[in-house]
Structure 1
């Protein structure tokens, strides 16, 4: 960690805890700041706050008293999920107190180079692929950011021999000032988080901030399948490295079933371990970064042909008696399930779907599930899903939950077929979150494997 004096004896307010807030508070305290943490949770149910108190850091919990801003703070470090309309944030900005997110702090203290990855879809898979490939190639890559490892905590421990591979959300990027990655990746931009950003234009502007401090010695890896990103790429100072599945570009591309980087053949598309067109795009982005970092083709191939996916995101679990299992519990909406389905042959696929009923229908799924081998439905939306399956004359079976659905699918599946959990619904009718839902599926897979 760079021992910067920027925050020494400065009063800093950390607004909102969770992992990133707690990490920022500790780092700032280590840098000599006079830290106050404010979190809405009551102290008794707030372990992070209790830990900070034990380390001598001031904590005000159980609410957000706006009058706290009357103290002479030099900086606010805001939890990314807290909107800018929050009264505490509004007052800070009225008083001209800079408001940053924790990734800005990570940048300021990092001795390591930073590779930043953002986009609407594919961020986590691409981030993980890049880190795995760099490590396979002998570099020391550290996952950080929105992927679950607080950026400032990782940056604090990283050395100049490391590389931080940092997943970045639009929320985090809104709170940067000097943040500058050596390589930035934009996987794609679709419509998302409009409740937070207000409109699509604001959302896209937040994503585009990833490159705003980059110089002509830096690289921007960007999806040329999207016209809007192609046009935006004309506005950056960084060197643009495009990737595309539609045409040959001066970067990474797929052509006639083969993947190239600047005319150099890397591997066949069919060799990729993750199914789906979207995962070809993710692989191309990762290849571009790896080649920029000097990683060998063999290291790239080793990872891309064996990568089993990020947990709960089209994660390949393995096969039992020739039947393959994929865990895509993260698919909490129809669009995510449509993307998952695009990677498989429907006539060999058993889809496990269902969950919380939010009042929507599933007609949008109809083109994507035609000719499915079968569906196993569960949860509150089981009747709705069963109805559209029956319209298409798809074999459909109802099951109690994800665990029983996995077993029922396996009982009906044949050699060479695939069982895919991609629910198209939130989990909250039966499970606290999609992770626990996915874990139940994994546990049932493991049980079945032991029984055979």
Structure 2
């Protein structure tokens, strides 16, 4: 994406503002914001709107999206509306703040999805990892201490907007992302660790059918490789089917079956995780599994 690219920001909620702030910070100038609200209804507090073109109101898509090199889609916009499809066929790149983040982020990513509970679970993982990797004094001079320090971030649907933290991250960072089907539907990168909760049925007023909903969710694991891993709720058939979607290692949690991962036996929580050769944070992620089983 070059600085002269003609860029559309589709939707000006939290995600659209995140995109605009990032683009402005990095010197992009040919930006158009499109939103169904009237211009005077948009919240521009804290936004540098200088030089930005706004197309707003009920007819904001009347002239389509043709001519834009890149279109940042906010999650509330269905991925396959006619205007987006036509622009894509005409050569436009369709992306989002989450998609752009995952394509440019260099650290360890932990993605969480499910029909219910993903916000609570994401926060739990975040808090566990903050305890495992507490922030050290900025004045610490011991390089060995600095090497062990990892910055932990919470983003996605909760926490900080993803592009607002991207410049602060590096290869030593850990990011936890709460991901909905709206965000997952067109991802082509999966998190290094994917946590799959109870996938049932939801958002049928947005997705065209149940299959599209589940297929969107599966993008959280679809592009993983053999060095990545999945943590899956074994007690839901749809969730369990995610295990065969990619080559990454599978761990499960269950209240009903003995599984490779975490399960309940005689009222006690049992863990059987031996992550040799896997990311060092796997032990900490297993803490989430125990918490999840306890709440099922």
- TM bucket, shorter chain: 0.7 to 0.9
Q: What is the match of residue 251 of structure 1?
A: 261
Question: Which deviations, in whole Å up to 9, do the C-alpha atoms of 1:54-91 show, x marking residues without a partner?
Answer: 4x3333223414425343x2221111111235443243
RMSD over aligned CA atoms reads 2.9
Residue of 87, 111, 136 corresponding to 2:106 = 111
Tell me which of 217, 237, 247 is aligned to 1:237: 247
2:192 pairs, out of 177, 182, 190, with 182
What displacement does 1:143 show? 0.8
Deviations 1:152-196 (A, max 9, x none): 22323323332110000000011323x231101111211111111
TM, length-normalised to structure 1: 0.55
Instruction: Say which SS state the counterpart of residue 38 (structure 1) adopts.
Output: strand
1:142 aligns with 2:153: yes
CA distance in 2, matches of 1:199, 1:160: 38
Partner of 1:204: 214
For residue 434 of structure 1, what is the aligned residue in structure 2?
none
- Contact 2:115/2:198 (CA < 8 Å) preserved in 1? yes
Contact kept, 8 Å, 2:66 with 2:86, in 1: the verdict is no
Q: 2:34 maps to what in 1? A: 38
SS of the residue 2:125 aligns to: helix
Question: Runs of 5+ in structure 1 lacking a partner?
Answer: 1-5, 265-288, 305-341, 344-452
Change (3 A) 1:263 1:106: closer
Check 1:168–1:215 CA distance in 2 against 1; reply closer, same or farther (3 A cut): same
CA contact (8 A) 1:124 1:147 kept: yes
Residue 136 of structure 1 deviates from its aligned partner by 0.9
Q: Secondary structure at the match of 2:206?
A: helix
2:65 maps to 1:69: yes
Q: Which structure is higher in helix share?
A: 1
Aligned equivalents of 2:272, 2:160: Cα separation in 1: 33
Match of 2:96 in 1: 101
For residues 14 and 47 of structure 1, the distance between their equivalents in structure 2, rounded to whole angstroms, comes to 15
Cα distance in structure 2, aligned partners of 1:292 and 1:245: 23
Q: Give the TM-score of the pair, scaled to structure 2.
A: 0.81
Q: How does 1:405-444 map to 2 (within 5 A)?
A: none
Give the aligned partner of residue 435 of structure 1. Answer: none
2:258 and 2:218 mapped to 1: Cα distance? 24
Report how many residues are paired: 272
Other structure's SS at 1:51 match: coil
| Matches of 2:116 and 2:229, distance apart in 1 | 20
Check conservation: 1:15, 1:39, Cα contact below 8 A: yes
1:218 aligns with 2:228: yes
Does structure 1 retain, via aligned residues, the 8 Å contact 2:221–2:242? no
Specify the structure having the higher radius of gyration (Cα): 1
Residue aligning to 1:125: 120
Deviation at 1:45, TM superposition (A): 1.8
Shift of the 167–296 alpha-carbon distance from structure 1 to 2, 3 Å rule, reads closer
- Tell me the CA shift for residue 39 of structure 1: 1.5
CA distance in 2, matches of 1:49, 1:70: 29
In 2: Cα distance, 1:166 partner to 1:7 partner: 27
The equivalent of 1:23 in structure 2 is: 18
Kindly state the Cα deviation for residue 9 of structure 1 after the two structures are TM-superposed. 2.4
Shift of 1:105: 1.1
2:65–2:84 contact (8 Å) kept in structure 1: no
Contact 1:78 1:100 in 2 (8 A): yes
Query: Aligned equivalents of 1:291 and 1:231: distance in 2?
Result: 26
Which SS does the other structure have where 1:47 is aligned?
Answer: coil
1:102–1:151 CA contact under 8 A, matched in 2: yes
**2: CA distance between counterparts of 1:162 and 1:154?**
11
SS of equivalent to 2:24: helix
What SS does the corresponding residue of 1:53 show, helix, strand or coil? Answer: coil
Q: Secondary structure at the match of 2:9?
A: strand
Deviation at 1:92, TM superposition (A): 1.8
Residue pair 2:33, 2:55 contacting (<8 A) in 1 also: yes
Structure 1: how far apart are the matches of 2:116 and 2:54?
Answer: 36
How far apart, CA to CA, are the structure 2 residues paired with 1:96 and 1:296? 41
Counterparts of 2:23 and 2:180, CA distance in 1: 22
Taking the TM superposition and a 5 Å limit, the aligned residue runs for 1:314-325 are none
1:293 CA displacement: 3.6
Match in the other structure for 1:447: none
